[in-house]
Amino acid sequence: MNTQNVNTATKESSERWVKTSYLRTDGFVRNIHSSHPFDVIRADVVLICLEKQAHRGCGLHYEIYMARVLESALDYLAQLPLKDRPVFMGAAANRGYILTLTEEQHAQEAYDVLMSELAEYDD
């Protein structure tokens, strides 16, 4: 008679009842503009779209461009779930952006100086 060790019973685990969230490592983040909560988009594509939007109204001034990019990227970051934030910040770092409030403040100061210079020039 042949016998085999076969495990026919399923393991009872509390993992089925506990919601686990793992950090994403695939380069995708939640699409905050989608109505479906599981829709994702590549983080670098989001940044490219934010860059294009910032470029439209910057008048080819780097200070205006950077202030707009950082502001919109930090707004997007704030709306992301915690598990997606490191991926977005890594994609931003690869594109040369450091997503911190200090960097945004420096960009805003440069923007304010430029705007005051442009206002003086117009007068």
C-alpha 33/C-alpha 76 separation (Å) is 10
Q: What's the Rg (C-alpha) of the chain?
A: 23
pLDDT of the residue at 121: 84
Q: Residues 4-23: what's their mean pLDDT?
A: 56
Dihedral over Cα of 6, 8, 14, 19: its sign: positive
Helix (H) or strand (E) holding 28: strand 28-30
Alpha-carbon span 122 to 59, nearest angstrom: 15
Per-residue model confidence as pLDDT tens digits over 61-97: 999 999 999 999 999 999 999 999 999 999 999 999 9
Q: How far apart are CA 27 and CA 40, in angstroms?
A: 10
Q: Does residue 14 carry a pLDDT above 70? A: no
Q: What is the pLDDT of residues 28-71, one digit of tens each?
A: 999 999 999 889 999 999 999 999 999 998 888 999 999 999 99
| pLDDT at position 22 | 72
Predicted TM-score (pTM) of this structure: 0.78
Give the integer Cα–Cα distance in Å for 30 and 67: 24
Query: How far apart (Å, rounded) are the C-alpha atoms in residues 55 and 24?
Result: 29
Q: What residue spans define the domains of the chain?
A: 22-122
